[in-house]
Amino acid sequence: MSKSSLIHSFGLSVYYEDTDAEGIVYYANYLKFVERARSEFLRDIGWPPSKIWHEFRDYWVVKNCNIDYRKPAKLEDWLTVHTSIEKLHSASMILRQEVVRGDELLTSLSIRLAYLHENGQIAKIPQAISALMVPYLFAESS
Amino acid sequence: MSKSSLIHSFGLSVYYEDTDAEGIVYYANYLKFVERARSEFLRDIGWPPSKIWHEFRDYWVVKNCNIDYRKPAKLEDWLTVHTSIEKLHSASMILRQEVVRGDELLTSLSIRLAYLHENGQIAKIPQAISALMVPYLFAESS
Amino acid sequence: MSKSSLIHSFGLSVYYEDTDAEGIVYYANYLKFVERARSEFLRDIGWPPSKIWHEFRDYWVVKNCNIDYRKPAKLEDWLTVHTSIEKLHSASMILRQEVVRGDELLTSLSIRLAYLHENGQIAKIPQAISALMVPYLFAESS
Amino acid sequence: MSKSSLIHSFGLSVYYEDTDAEGIVYYANYLKFVERARSEFLRDIGWPPSKIWHEFRDYWVVKNCNIDYRKPAKLEDWLTVHTSIEKLHSASMILRQEVVRGDELLTSLSIRLAYLHENGQIAKIPQAISALMVPYLFAESS
């Protein structure tokens, strides 16, 4: 990831609940890990889902996930989820999330979230929110 | 269980999602299995949660679980959950649920559910519902 | 999906465990649903994971998932997972899986699985297995 | 809990994955929370499961849980799990675990764990482990 933009980091431990009979983290559970990281990211910029709902009656919804599984995580591993923003549109964004164990990249995801109003229609992301997201926007080297 | 009362049976397969790194079903997941069985039991007597809510604005809530873990279930096992009613009170009930694999008893639970109104207060179980539960009431030999 | 190839179908009910506070199925849980369907598909063609391991010391591993979330599933929904094979290579395959509620397509996935030997190396899918998969190979209209 | 013994505390956030369509934490997930707390407790006294297995070929297994559900936890709650030891026997122990939100007791559990050897037989808890558990033994007032 680019050095010139902020990357949000969130750490977590792997417990029995996360593993399966192969002795590794069950493949669906990485989506739980990155959702925890997104929740903390939104809380850290000051806009947890509860506040967005309270102030705007809006909410984020996941529309697409693309997940690459490279190496498995195991019981008692300490993992870090790195989150940055690949694309920030007026009513959606694409997040890049990586699950790492130390230097090793285990899983990488590209996740598209739409910003919806309580009527279920696509809504414009308020400037108060998007302004706080811009620093996490992936700055590609030119 | 007594032969003189009805026992509800519900079958399920054990998948990877249910297991943990010990190679057996993770201990919390038996609560999922018996909740699926309770949902099917309530549907089979004609009172799924959605209908109780729609007609009476009432709902069931679990107040206590006592679980004995005897033998572990494993990946690809076919399990059956047997459900009967230990006690049927005016505003609560105690269910007996057993998870078996063929003849083997794996896990047994005693679960107390309270019947609540939408205001969160304990409510009387309507006669229309309780009448359909009586046949599943555990009939102790005297 | 094409009419000229077999499509495997697997049905399931949505229980409380599958839902979240938005009142809909939690996004990670669709990966559980399609994994149940894959397990049943492999069992139906006669090659459940336990038998592949026992006979060849091989196993399938998910390398990539691409998931489109179109419409949410809800509590008490009856869902069907349709599974067919998009690509069948010598040591991997890409499955197409769709989660539907009646006529409505809720979620569609493209999942790439590698076929590995117990040493963790990519292995050739035995003819005994691949021959039983060919009928499910997606036949594109020309 | 008694003031005269140590109590282990472990904090956690409630995420979407933990909630259900009632808008509260799904009842099985408290067993995940307290298992995380037990894992951290065992790690903190220096005997995580991996080390017990490595040194003694022994492991802990849950034999019984008794759970009282008092008040529900909700999305974005910060919860603390307090763990102490009710009974410490030669080959088993009973833990007391409480899930609290600030001053409110939400869920309380009594969990019996047996100490087993790799052959599946009950084993004596080594002095090296039990000595580090004694300080967490619930000291009843006389």
Mutation target among A67, A71, A95, A109 for the C interface, most CBs of C within 10 A = A67
**Which tens digit of pLDDT belongs to each residue from A68-83?**
999 999 999 999 999 9
Based on the residue annotation, tell me whether B20 is a catalytic residue of this protein: yes
**Which tens digit of pLDDT belongs to each residue from C18-45?**
999 999 999 999 999 999 999 999 999 9
| DSSP-derived secondary structure for C51-88 | HHHHHHSEEEEEEEEEEEE-S--BTT-EEEEEEEEEEE
Of the pLDDT bands very low, low, confident and very high (cuts 50, 70, 90), residue C138 is confident
Distance CA B66, CA C31 (A): 31
Greater confidence, A118 or D4?
Answer: A118
Residue C91: CA atoms inside 13 Å, Cβ hemisphere, count?
A: 9
Instruction: For chain B, report the end-to-end CA distance as a whole number of angstroms.
Output: 14
Distance CA A100, CA A73 (A): 9
Of the pLDDT bands very low, low, confident and very high (cuts 50, 70, 90), residue B4 is low
Subunits with 3+ Cβ pairs within 8 Å of A are B, C, D
Cα Rg of chain A, angstroms:
16
Distance CA C108, CA C104 (A): 11
Of the pLDDT bands very low, low, confident and very high (cuts 50, 70, 90), residue B140 is low
CB contact under 8 A, A76 and D50: yes
Q: How close is the nearest chain C Cα to the Cα of A135, in Å? A: 27
Q: Are D62 and D113 in contact (CB under 8 A)?
A: yes
Mean pLDDT throughout D132-142?
Answer: 80
| DSSP-derived secondary structure for chain D | --TTS--EEEEEE--GGGB-TTSBB-TTHHHHHHHHHHHHHHHHTT--HHHHHHHHSEEEEEEEEEEEE-S--BTT-EEEEEEEEEEE-SSEEEEEEEEEETTEEEEEEEEEEEEEETTS-B-PPPHHHHHHHGGGB-----
Residue C60: predicted pLDDT: 96
Q: Are B37 and B97 in contact (CB under 8 A)?
A: yes
**Which tens digit of pLDDT belongs to each residue from C64-122?**
999 999 999 999 999 999 999 999 999 999 999 999 999 999 999 999 999 999 999 99
Sequence-ordered list of residues with C-beta below 8 angstroms from that of B15, at least 6 positions apart, any chain = B75, C32, C35, C36, C39
Q: How many CB pairs under 8 A join A and C?
A: 47
Mutation target among B18, B20, B29, B31 for the A interface, most CBs of A within 10 A = B20
| Lowest model confidence (mean pLDDT) among B88-92, D12-16, D47-51 | D47-51
User: β-strands D104-117, D92-101: how paired?
Assistant: antiparallel
Query: Pick from B27, B35, B63: which is nearest to D69 by CB?
Result: B63
| pTM for this prediction | 0.95
Determine which one of D20, D44, D68, D77 is catalytic: D20
Chain A residues near residue C28 by CB distance under 8 angstroms: 28-29, 31-32, 35
Distance CA B69, CA C113 (A): 35
> A124: which 2 tokens?
């414009």
Residues of chain D with pLDDT > 90: what percent?
92
| Lowest model confidence (mean pLDDT) among A3-17, A43-57, B11-25, D119-133 | A3-17
Residues of chain B with pLDDT > 70: what percent?
94
Q: Alpha carbon of C53 to those of A22, C66, C120: distances in Å? A: 12, 27, 13
Cα B19–chain centre separation: 21
Q: Are D101 and D77 in contact (CB under 8 A)?
A: yes
Domain D8-136 annotated CATH 2.60.120.10? no
Closest CA to A33 of A48, A15, A54: A15
Q: How close is the nearest chain C Cα to the Cα of A66, in Å? A: 4
Contacting A residues, span 65-84, partner chain C, CB-CB under 8 Å: 65-69
Chain A residues near residue C22 by CB distance under 8 angstroms: 59
Mean pLDDT throughout A29-36?
Answer: 98
pLDDT at residue D13 tops 80:
yes
> C133: which 2 tokens?
């998969």
Domain regions of chain D by residue span: 8-136
Strand-pairing partners, residue D122, are: D116
Query: What are the two backbone dihedrals, phi and then psi, of residue C77, each rounded to the nearest 5 degrees?
Result: -65, 150
